[in-house]
Amino acid sequence: MNGFLVHKHKNKISEWIGGDSRFELLYKLSRDGGSTKMFHELCDNKGPTVTIFYNTDNNVYGGYLSDSWGRSGGWCTDQRAFLFTLYSAGHWKPMKFPHIDGETHFQTFNRGPCFYSLNSFHMYVKMEKKIPSNFYKCITTGLFDGQRFDMKGETAQSVANDHNNVTDMEVYLVKDGLPDEELQIPWRDSTEWNNKGFQELKEFIATYEPFAEMKIPEVNILLIGQAGAGKSSLFNTFNSIFKGGISSRACSGSAEKGITQKFDKLRIHDPSTKKYLRFRICDTCGVKDRINIKNEDIGFIMDGNLPNHYTFDHETGTSIKSPGFVKEPTMRDKIHVVVFILDGSNLNFLSNDVVKKLQEIKSLAIDRGVPPLVFLTKIDEICELVRDDVSKVYNSKIVEDAVNKAADLFAIPRFHVLPVKNYEKESELLTSINILALTALRKSLMFADDFLENQCELKQEKMETLNKQD
Ligand SMILES: Nc1nc2c(ncn2[C@@H]2O[C@H](COP(=O)(O)OP(=O)(O)OP(=O)(O)O)[C@@H](O)[C@H]2O)c(=O)[nH]1
Ligand SMILES: [Mg+2]
């Protein structure tokens, strides 16, 4: 069983420690059990470690120790120790809480990892079976009390919601930096990572036409996912590839309430043919924890009731009285494939609310016969190998694990999960990024055609039944 830390988290912790570090999972509460005997067997005298707590409210926090853990010694001082937080209620908010002075941690045989003001358990902690998630009740005495570590104004309430009930806790050994593991045999076949491979994909997409018998001008690809997962950036990535340079037509970025608030059906112009490509990318606002796009609104989108550039009203929702509401949508208005955009760097920390919402949206698609796909973004943030060279994506064990995790989360086959890396800081196009993005786009066009073909068959069957009745 792998740990939850991915490149982005390791990178931040390495930066705090100072220098490149490699992390090796020593102990995992849910895997190894909550006994201090097991913790000491796996972690004692190993060298510097980082301990991470994952609490039930999606707060992720922990502590770093440059000394080894041990069974004796009582209160000790490690001047390089620090506490930190990575996520607050599922949101990436990294903060380091450095040592001020005095003792930093307690060494004894009958405690798990014990920092001054961040303690785990005495002797034994058992798993409590609760809905929505099982948890381990860790110690809260003096939790983040700011006596030994500078909390920079943060408190037990702001960091951990005033409790230490964790779904898991992990201890990693911190070693000097080495690159992430590279698989010799790729976990998925791919086109060749060269200009020829890219041109073939581009040609496929440039000449794509929707399933002929449906007689629609273009297919509609709906992008849906967490706020900030990279939906608008994905459109920009596709657009940049055909434009031949980095472009930013759909607004992307970061904001608490999400950047995109409208429903836009965006087209891409191909300057080589001076024509629009035969699909529209339907960009929506992101799924969040509280204020959220309503399921009825998603249903309206899928059924083709919402006009282009529709602005959502999360309080009142949409009705047939909403401006521009399409009362009698035809096949050309409908969504033909739904693509869930998941932030690969955040997969282990998705809140239950967001997962539930995304699963509900998947059911809405399945009910309508619309095929779902998952695109996993920000893979450069989870794997160093991919960050340095995107063409290594299928040789990355970390990306393979993330793809498997997303497939499990959505209960879909893993070949329906496609990793992508959006243009975000690059100033020029890169063949490897283009190939990965167009591979994903080609798959969504093929899925859209499957949907159209199924609809066509259903229509024909209906006609035949009617003819028989006549
Ligand atoms: N490193 C990296 N950053 C990315 C990637 N995709 C998107 N981003 C960044 O993530 C942030 C959010 O991207 P957006 O495209 O605005 O996300 P969105 O899903 O449209 O967000 P909302 O409209 O708010 O729902 C931006 O700062 C992007 O630059 C990626 O593949 N890798
Ligand atoms: Mg957006």
Cα gap 339→231, rounded to integer Å = 10
Distance from the CA of 225 to the center of ligand 2, in angstroms? 10
Cα gap 108→180, rounded to integer Å = 34
Distance from the CA of 132 to the center of ligand 2, in angstroms? 29
Ligand 1, atom 8: closest residue by C-alpha: 230
Ligand nearest, relative to CA of residue 229: 1
Atom of ligand 1 nearest to the CA of 285: 25
Summary mean pLDDT of the chain: 92
Q: Beta strand 279-283 with 262-266: parallel, antiparallel or unpaired?
A: antiparallel
Q: Can you tell me the mean pLDDT for 420-432?
A: 95
What is the total count of domains within the chain? 2
Asked if pLDDT for residue 249 goes beyond 90, the answer is no
Distance from the CA of 310 to the center of ligand 2, in angstroms? 14
Q: Beta strand 262-266 with 219-225: parallel, antiparallel or unpaired?
A: unpaired
Ligand nearest, relative to CA of residue 390: 1
Nearest CA-CA partner of 82 in 40, 44, 116: 116
* 271: confidence class by pLDDT, cuts 50, 70, 90: very high
Domain end among 176, 210, 236? 176
Is 71 a domain residue?
yes
Distance from the CA of 254 to the center of ligand 2, in angstroms? 9
Domain shared by 141 and 253, yes or no? no
Distance from the CA of 320 to the center of ligand 2, in angstroms? 25
Residue keyed to tokens 């890396």: 421
Helix (H, G, I), strand (E, B) or coil at 346: helix
Is 21 a domain residue?
yes
Q: Can you tell me the mean pLDDT for 259-274?
A: 88
DSSP string computed for 64-131: EESSPB-SS-EEE--TT-EEEEEEETTEEEEEEEEB-SS--EEE-TTBSSEETTEE--BSB--EE--S
* 359: confidence class by pLDDT, cuts 50, 70, 90: very high
User: What is the domain-level CATH number for residue 218?
Assistant: 3.40.50.300
Residue 32's Cβ-side half-sphere holds a number of Cα atoms within 13 Å equal to 20
Distance from the CA of 259 to the center of ligand 1, in angstroms? 10
Out of 248, 288, 422, give the residue to mutate to test ligand 1, the one with the largest number of ligand atoms within 8 Å of its CB: 422
Domain shared by 303 and 424, yes or no? yes
Domain shared by 395 and 459, yes or no? yes
Ligand 1, atom 12: closest residue by C-alpha: 228
Domain shared by 169 and 205, yes or no? no
Is 38 a domain residue?
yes
Domain shared by 115 and 259, yes or no? no
Q: What is the pLDDT of residues 313-348, one digit of tens each?
A: 777 788 898 999 999 999 999 999 999 999 999 888
Distance from the CA of 388 to the center of ligand 2, in angstroms? 26
* 133: confidence class by pLDDT, cuts 50, 70, 90: confident
Is 375 a domain residue?
yes
Domain shared by 254 and 348, yes or no? yes
Cα gap 259→236, rounded to integer Å = 14
DSSP string computed for 116-165: TTEE--BSB--EE--SS--EEE---TTTT-SSSB--TT--HHHHHTT--E
* 131: confidence class by pLDDT, cuts 50, 70, 90: confident
Ligand 1, atom 27: closest residue by C-alpha: 253
Domain shared by 250 and 351, yes or no? yes
Ligand 1, atom 24: closest residue by C-alpha: 258
Domain shared by 169 and 214, yes or no? no
Is 237 a domain residue?
yes
Cα gap 359→248, rounded to integer Å = 30
Asked if pLDDT for residue 257 goes beyond 60, the answer is no
Q: Are 211 and 449 in contact (CB under 8 A)?
A: yes
Domain shared by 229 and 347, yes or no? yes
Is 183 a domain residue?
no
Q: Which residues contact 222 (CB under 8 A, 6 or more apart)?
A: 282, 284, 301, 302, 335, 337, 338, 339
Ligand nearest, relative to CA of residue 253: 1
pLDDT of residue 40: 97
What does the block give as tokens for 269?
């112009």
Q: What is the pLDDT of residues 296-307, one digit of tens each?
A: 999 999 999 999
| Angle made by CA atoms 193, 194, 200, in degrees to the nearest 5 | 95
Cα gap 445→373, rounded to integer Å = 11
- In this prediction, what percent of the chain has a pLDDT beyond 90? 76
Q: What is the pLDDT of residues 80-98, one digit of tens each?
A: 999 999 999 999 999 999 9
Domain shared by 220 and 147, yes or no? no
Distance from the CA of 376 to the center of ligand 1, in angstroms? 12
pLDDT of residue 224: 94
Nearest CA-CA partner of 278 in 267, 287, 286: 267
Is 2 a domain residue?
no
Atom of ligand 1 nearest to the CA of 233: 15
Domain end among 176, 203, 235? 176
* 180: confidence class by pLDDT, cuts 50, 70, 90: low
Helix (H, G, I), strand (E, B) or coil at 224: strand
Helix (H, G, I), strand (E, B) or coil at 391: helix
Asked if pLDDT for residue 161 goes beyond 70, the answer is yes
Nearest CA-CA partner of 49 in 68, 29, 34, 75: 68
Domain shared by 113 and 228, yes or no? no
pLDDT of residue 227: 86
Range of the domain at 140: 7-176
Q: Are 301 and 222 in contact (CB under 8 A)?
A: yes
Ligand 1, atom 13: closest residue by C-alpha: 230
Out of 222, 232, 252, 259, give the residue to mutate to test ligand 1, the one with the largest number of ligand atoms within 8 Å of its CB: 252
Ligand nearest, relative to CA of residue 255: 1
Is 184 a domain residue?
no
Ligand 1, atom 16: closest residue by C-alpha: 252
Atom of ligand 1 nearest to the CA of 260: 23
Out of 377, 383, 424, give the residue to mutate to test ligand 1, the one with the largest number of ligand atoms within 8 Å of its CB: 424
Domain shared by 147 and 292, yes or no? no
pLDDT of residue 469: 77
- In this prediction, what percent of the chain has a pLDDT beyond 70? 96
Pocket-forming residues, ligand 1, beta carbon under 6 Å: 227-233, 252-254, 258-260, 285-286, 377-378, 380-381, 421-422, 424
Quickly count: other Cβ atoms within 10 Å of residue 142's Cβ.
Answer: 15
Q: Can you tell me the mean pLDDT for 65-87?
A: 97
Ligand nearest, relative to CA of residue 433: 1
